[in-house]
Amino acid sequence: MTDHGTKTAPGTVLIVDDDSDYLAQMEVQFAARGYRVLTADGRAAAEEILAATRPDLAILDLMMDNADDGFMLSWSLKKRYPDVPVVLVTAVTSETGYTFEGRTGASSWIRADRILSKPVRFEQILAAVEGLAGHGG
Amino acid sequence: MAAEVQAGRYRVLVADDEEGMRLAVERALRGFTVSIPETGEELGLDVVLVDSGEAAVEEIGRRTPDIVLLDHKMGGMSGLDVLSWLEERDLDLLAVMITAYASIETAISATRKGAYDFLPKPFTPGELRVSVRQAVTHLAAVRRSRELEEEKRRVRFQFISVLAHELKAPLGAIEGYLYVLQDRNAVSDPAVYDRIVDRCLVRLVGMRKLIYDLLDLTRLESGSRRRELSDCDVREAVTASLETMGPDAASRNVTLLREEPGEPVRLQADPSELGIILNNLVSNAVKYNREGGRVTVRLEDRPDQVVIAVSDTGIGMTPEELGRLFHEFTRIRNSKTKDILGSGLGLTILQKLASLYGGKVGVESVPDEGTTFTVTLMKPPVDAP
């Protein structure tokens, strides 16, 4: 593992995406920053992990190939662990122009703290994650 | 668009200030139908009568008719005035001018203003029907070709959208990996580094395959692909294909088998087309197989056709998946196929090629047991249209 200074371990991140390449990239980059990384390629696998582990952070793809799996997963994750920050990433906006702006938050049906639009750089995800952690998570 | 077209009925608006004329027109068109041979439709007419140009404009504004019969000379707005009013609006209708003062000047100015036809008074019911039939037939043909054009545009747009998506996916994956490599701290483990480079190459190869398939398909569809037919032994094409696919099969421990007659299987064919057909079939059978499975290429020489059947012992498909199989870019996505790369165009290409030989592609499948694709090629070959 690479040394990233004296900061304490940032914790466990759960990454869920049905694109195995994207999953591999996220895994390598989060691991390099000291995270313990759990990955799942779909909702079922993610639910299994969540039943056993409380992550400190979750990055979920909307997985639109499987209808609303991403939304359902974020819903059930927030129900189980209300304090775990959830970042949703989706290619929906770049592919359809549909925007989720202003649709997050406690009153929304979308249970995510941030929604990022794919293609998204790892730095953007990291910035979002650090921003959420900075606000007390 | 064309929402006013009622199934099987056209609306005919008649504007004439003489009541006798209006009633005569109505009587002549009552029960009259126009048959459209291209669509097999029998169009009935709903006749609406108005007694002035102003009333015609009002009626058209309320509901666009299909055909307008306009008297030239009416008090107030004349037939030509109504034509001018129509000219400013792009309405989906045809206008026919009726006039007692049949002069060439009126005819010309009416035609300039967009009238489709010109009917001189007095006319017989028969002449009126001929004129109305022509207008209805013409309008129906225009609408039909517009619909076909729109359908073509829609299909094309959909094809390009899906294609763009399929090309974007590998680019996105490769870009993502490059960013990982750019972050020099991210990859310290050589095994991880190797895996990243391997994945980039796999996605690149897949993307190139898509582009080649797309070129094949475009050439086939445009008919610009030059065919060179010769007397072929299909067994030789099988040999070549099995040699090409050998390494892929070996890497997955898949055994390639062949069953064929002892003598040549003759067919007038383009060897490169046979190559594409067999490579498509065998490569699918290897890709969608299980580790250690079998692929069997069976050739059958029938009096009127050659049958190529390629069976695998792979993941198979459900009836529902089979139903979607032959659509462009339909790659059956499930947990068993998610790591298998394909352009989604292979079967479309296969079908196009088979049709060049008057043949077709069939498929039978049992989930988790395997799939058999059967291509029949007719002899002698039927040329492409």
What's the confidence (pLDDT) of residue A30?
94
Q: How many residues are given for chain B?
A: 385
Residue-wise pLDDT tens digits, B293-348: 999 999 999 989 999 999 999 888 888 888 777 776 666 656 566 666 666 788 88
Residue-wise pLDDT tens digits, B37-64: 878 888 999 999 999 999 999 999 999 9
Q: Assess contact for A118 and A90: CB atoms under 8 A.
A: yes
Total structural domains in chain A? 1
Before B122, cis peptide (omega within 30)?
yes
Residue-wise pLDDT tens digits, A70-112: 888 988 999 999 999 999 888 777 777 777 766 666 556 667 7
Indicate yes or no: CB of B185 within 8 angstroms of CB of A32: yes
Tell me if A6 is assigned to some domain: no
Mean pLDDT of B156-172: 83
Q: What angle do CA A128, A24, B325 make, to 5 degrees?
A: 110
Backbone φ, ψ for residue B298 (5° rounding): -115, 130
DSSP string, A94-117: HHH----TT--STTSSS--SEEEE
Mean pLDDT of B21-42: 89
Q: What is the ipTM of this complex?
A: 0.81
CATH assignment of the domain containing A107: 3.40.50.2300
Q: Is the pLDDT of residue B85 over 90?
A: yes
Tell me if A4 is assigned to some domain: no
Tell me if A5 is assigned to some domain: no
What's the confidence (pLDDT) of residue B334?
60
What's the confidence (pLDDT) of residue B73?
85
What's the confidence (pLDDT) of residue B336?
61
Could you tell me which of B313, B315, B331, B289 has the C-alpha nearest to residue B368?
A: B315
What's the confidence (pLDDT) of residue B347?
84
A119 → closest Cβ in B172, B177, B192: B172
Cut 0.95: pTM above it: no
Question: Which has more confidence, A57 or B346?
Answer: A57
**Closest chain B residue to the Cα of A119, Cα to Cα:** B172
Tell me if A23 is assigned to some domain: yes
Interface test with B, best of A25, A63, A118 (most B CBs within 10 A): A25
Q: Which residues of chain A lie closer than 8 angstroms to B183, CB-CB?
A: 29, 32, 122
H/E stretch holding B220 reads helix B190-222
Tell me if A103 is assigned to some domain: yes
Distance from CA of A32 to the nearest CA of B (A): 5
Could you tell me which of B296, B325, B301 has the C-alpha nearest to residue B312?
A: B296
Question: Which has more confidence, B235 or A131?
Answer: B235
Q: Assess contact for B259 and B298: CB atoms under 8 A.
A: yes
Tell me if A3 is assigned to some domain: no
Indicate yes or no: CB of B203 within 8 angstroms of CB of A24: no
Share of chain A above pLDDT 70, in %: 79
Give CA–CA dist B81/B17, Å, rounded: 14
Q: Is the pLDDT of residue A5 over 70?
A: no
Tell me if A116 is assigned to some domain: yes
Residue B39 half-sphere exposure toward CB, CA atoms < 13 A: 17
Distance from CA of B3 to the nearest CA of A (A): 27
Residue-wise pLDDT tens digits, B110-161: 888 888 988 888 889 999 999 999 999 999 999 999 999 998 888 888 778 7
What's the confidence (pLDDT) of residue B330?
64
What's the confidence (pLDDT) of residue B188?
85
Could you tell me which of B277, B373, B365 has the C-alpha nearest to residue B316?
A: B365
Tokens of B374: 């059967």
Tell me if A29 is assigned to some domain: yes
Interface of B with A (CB under 8 A): 165, 169, 172-173, 175-177, 179-180, 183, 185-188, 192, 195-196, 199, 203, 333, 335, 338-339
What's the confidence (pLDDT) of residue B312?
93
| Domain residue limits at A87 | 12-133
What's the confidence (pLDDT) of residue B199?
92
Q: Is the pLDDT of residue B162 over 90?
A: no
Question: Which has more confidence, A133 or B42?
Answer: B42
Indicate yes or no: CB of B179 within 8 angstroms of CB of A118: no
